[in-house]
Chain A
Amino acid sequence: MIPSFKEYDIAVVGGGLVGAAIGYGLARLGQRVALLDDSDAAIRASRANFALVWVQSKGFGYTPYAHWTVRSSNSWADFSALLREETGLDTAFQRPGGFHLALSEEELERRAAYIDQLQSQSPDFPYRVEILDRSKVASMLPEIGPDVVGGSYCELDGHCNSLRLYRVLLKATAKYGGKYLASHRVEAITYKNRAFRLSTSAGEVHAGKVVLAAGNANMRLAPMVGLEAPMRPERGQIMVTERVMPFLRHPVVTIRQTDEGTVMIGDSKEEGTTPDGLNLSISAVMASRAIRMFPLLGRLNVVRMWAGVRVMTADGFPIYDQSETCPGAFVACCHSGVTLAANHALTLAPMIAAGRLDAEVVGAFSARRFHVSKAA
């Protein structure tokens, strides 16, 4: 029996937001792209996220990440406009500035100290975060409750409709001939004759290049192509309410109102690597803090709750790498697939298409850094 396989210029492993953004970026450059995705019921960070396009706090302990984040935040508006042109659909990107709210003096002090340390990391730290007192916060967020003592604010913080972003990226990729192959879970990758063979749950796929964008699964896949991606998945819970008339213009890191009017409330950081089961005690804590921040939330009905598994590298910063033993293999994983989508589509994808990651731009995110710090 002659084995049948499909052949592409690039196989992107992982059909979530990172894979979809990279896949779109590649497809619009004329690459024949296949986006290989897991099954319908698979664990997907791209379905569970909070949809923030967030700058504040990024790069704590690693300034290059702050630069990379600001670059993406500044490209997002153009990225969104481009996608609207391609598909007629709006990702609802807004950058009104965002908050981190404190419910006690102690919380505010901790936050202020954190921000202070963050911004002192480098003389040209790329973004500013202000610590605001209660009255200033109240002037911008009129609905805050009496327990809010203040917060931190960054004018570069924003959000989008991340599920729409996901749909838009797939639609735009298809427009350029890219193929979204669901239920093609990649089990093994071999490099032979300067090309890659991927065995998937739905048959074999051949490609000249491969991009691993499979989130936490990159840890399993990376060694197959001479790369490494140390990950430590982390569980979190979110809940969402029914649709409400707009009342919250600025996203708060744990509360945001979507363009549909629903209010998302997060989030937790838990042991656990599956999204199964809900810890209602955690829901209770999230709910009570949210109500203390915005009392009007109390009477709203929660329509859905879910748990997701965050894509977390070992140090929390992205990993972008290209393989030396298997040229043409790349790995891309990060926590902030929404924030970095603009970079992934417009900066990273062209590098991958050209066959070389630009060390000046993304060299800081190579996995080699894990060995450097071990040696130190």
Chain B
Amino acid sequence: MNGAPVFENTYDVAVVGAGPAGLAAGATAAKAGLTTIVLDENPAPGGQIYRAITTTPVRREEILGEDYWDGQKLIQEFQSSGAQLVSGATVWSISRALEINVSQGGQTHLINARWIILATGAQERPFPIPGWTLPGVMTAGGAQTLLKASGLVPSGRVILAGTGPLLWLLAAQILRAGGDITAILDTTPLENYVRALRQLPGFLLSPYFAKGLRLLTEVRRKTRVIKGVTKLEAQGKDKLAEVLFATGSQPATRMAADLLLLHQGVVPNVNLAMSIGIDHRWDELQLCWVPVLDQYGNSSVPGIAIAGDGAGISGALAAAERGRLAAYAAVKALKPEALSHLPAEQILLQALAKAQAGRAFLDTLYQPPKHFRIPEKNETLVCRCEEVTAGQIREMVALGCEGPNQLKSFLRCGMGPCQGRLCGLTATEMIAAERNVSPQQVGYYRLRPPIKPIQLAEIAAMPQSETAVKAVVRG
């Protein structure tokens, strides 16, 4: 893209995020004839699952696998739809009046929209083990990004640890690419297998079953897998040197390591939605906050819908279907005569249901255990940015602190630049556990714009009304 992007003053539909949901939503809205802009913070479209799909140096298709390359269809659909994509654009504020402040090229632009679809996707669930802040400890997703976008593959003494489909997918991709994996430490609780049995029949019919089984078999053939890991620590002086782990009630073992890749599922990235005041609820199965939405993805704020994993973790195929449904609702509201260009609502709903089949099994099997969501050792950092420990949080709760916002005031937990993304779930669950109440009751940090840090100079350059001046400049 040459030159600065042109932002119109108003669009029919503005989509935030160019992952599968955002691409599908943008393409659908544009094809119906609505003026559509998709704003994405990354240098290129694809979100996380299809990261670097237009630029990846990993051309041997068998390395990243067919599920990845499927994304090309979505990119093509988007590129031929007429929707405008702006990359490197960070949306930092959205008002209930559907005004969007987006920072691009060091400048903030104000965009009005008649409809907004948030497709900001998911992030890795925090995995607060002792030593998780050491250099050499990264998320599985981070390693996957390095592979997809840069052709960098883990090498040396590499340990993968955690639970969830992404862990196995990454393991397969690394091994296919010729990378090194010393061991996979599987933290899936053994009792989850029993609990998931009930969901098995539904899962057997889903597309994930055969794929998942093949993946597991492939990885198990090529590398050492240790199941039932109940204890995990990263150790080292100024970088990772060893991983300490134990299974069941066995004594702990140490394994030398250069790289530890952690993963225990993904959770919706809620900061933008919550900063607008969109209602959320705690999901007891997925153990995270999910927005309260209707069947189209419309939220509690009129004119704002959420699509993709940000609506609830369901994977890439479901994300695209949710994107199409959200756009369908936008077209229905803004230009109903164009609905004839789109698949029927029933078709879209059925496609979504099909893509979500088997989800309950995966969610149950891979539900991360409590001792890895809530650190047991008091010295373990919960808030990485402000270096707040589990022990400090327990101490404040014992003093009577009942919620994450008071906690934030007392300990600065959640006040750093990541704005609670890596500590919020842990803080809420810790308080809930200490008080013996539900996370729903405890609540979450009160989030406000900017949902990403923004230069003061950019804020200063925004319009200043006369009343605003009067409110500030006084005696």
Q: Are A287 and B460 in contact (CB under 8 A)?
A: yes
Q: Which of A41, A284, A289, A302 contacts B461 (CB 8 A)?
A: A284
| Given contacts A163-B409, A170-B399, A242 and B417 within 8 Å (CB-CB) | yes
Task: Report if A248 contacts B (CB, 8 A).
Answer: no
A-B pairs with beta carbons under 8 A, tally = 148
What is the chain B residue whose CB lies nearest that of A267? Answer: B472
B459 contacts A by Cβ under 8 Å:
yes
Chain A: residues with Cβ within 8 Å of the partner, total of 56
Residues of B within 8 A of A120 (CB): none
Cβ < 8 Å to B, chain A residues 163-214: 163, 166-167, 170-171, 174, 179-183
B residues 440-463 in Cβ contact with A at 8 Å: 442-443, 446, 448-450, 453-457, 459-463
Are the CB atoms of A302 and B399 closer together than 8 Å?
no
B399, A40: Cβ atoms closer than 8 Å: no
Q: Which residue of A lies closest to B472 (CB)?
A: A285
Total B residues in contact with A, Cβ cutoff 8 Å: 48
The residue from B95, B101, B403, B469 contacting A285, defined by CB atoms under 8 A apart: B469
Q: Which of A174, A268, A276, A287 contacts B459 (CB 8 A)?
A: A287
Contact B419 A303 (CB under 8 A): yes
B456 touches A298 (CB 8 A): yes
Is the beta-carbon distance between A302 and B469 smaller than 8 angstroms? no
Interface of B is mostly: loop
Residue A286 at the B interface, CB < 8 A? yes
Chain A residues closer than 8 Å to B442, beta-carbon distance: 40
- With a CB–CB cut-off of 8 A, which chain A residues contact B475? 110-111, 114
Q: Assess the B459–A40 pair: CB atoms within 8 A.
A: no
Contact with B along A96-135 (1 / 0, CB 8 A): 0000000000010011001000000000000000000000
Q: Does A315 contact B (CB under 8 A)?
A: no
Instruction: Answer whether A283 and B417 are a contact pair too, CB < 8 Å, given A170-B399, A179-B400, A302-B453.
Output: no
Q: Mark A29-53, 1 if CB is under 8 A from B, else 0.
A: 0000000000111001011000000
Distance A213 CA – B253 CA, assembled complex (angstroms): 55
User: Would you call B468 and A285 a contact (CB within 8 A)?
Assistant: yes
| A48 closest partner in B (C-beta) | B409
Contact residues in A for B213 (Cβ distance below 8 Å):
none
A341 contact set on B, CB distance < 8 A: none
User: Cβ of B9: which chain A residues have Cβ within 8 Å of it?
Assistant: none
Kindly list chain B residues whose C-beta atoms are within 8 Å of the C-beta of A171. Answer: 399
Given contact pairs A163-B410, A281-B465, A301 touches B93 in the complex (Cβ within 8 A): no
Of A269, A303, A306, which is within 8 A of B416 by CB? Answer: A303
**Do B455 and A298 have beta carbons less than 8 Å apart?**
yes
- Tell me if A284 and B400 are in contact (CB < 8 A): no
| Given A179-B400, A182-B400, A278-B449: A285 and B471 interface contact (C-beta under 8 Å) | yes
Contacts of A300 in B (CB 8 A): 455-456
A74, CB-defined interface residue at 8 Å: no
Given the interface pairs A166-B410, A174-B399, A182-B401, the reply to whether A283 lies near B457 with Cβ below 8 Å is: no
Pick the most buried of B400, B402, B443: most chain A CB atoms within 10 A of its CB.
B400
Which residue numbers of A lie inside 8 Å of B, CB to CB? 39-41, 44, 46-47, 107, 110-111, 114, 163, 166-167, 170-171, 174, 179-183, 239, 241-242, 260, 265, 267-270, 276-291, 297-306
Known: A39-B402, A242-B417, A304-B415. 5 other contacts (CB 8 A): A47-B409, A265-B456, A278-B93, A281-B463, A298-B460
- 25 sampled A-B residue pairs with Cβ under 8 A: A40-B403, A41-B405, A41-B443, A107-B473, A114-B475, A163-B409, A167-B410, A174-B399, A182-B401, A260-B412, A265-B456, A268-B471, A277-B95, A278-B448, A278-B449, A279-B468, A280-B93, A281-B468, A285-B469, A287-B456, A287-B459, A289-B472, A302-B459, A303-B453, A305-B449
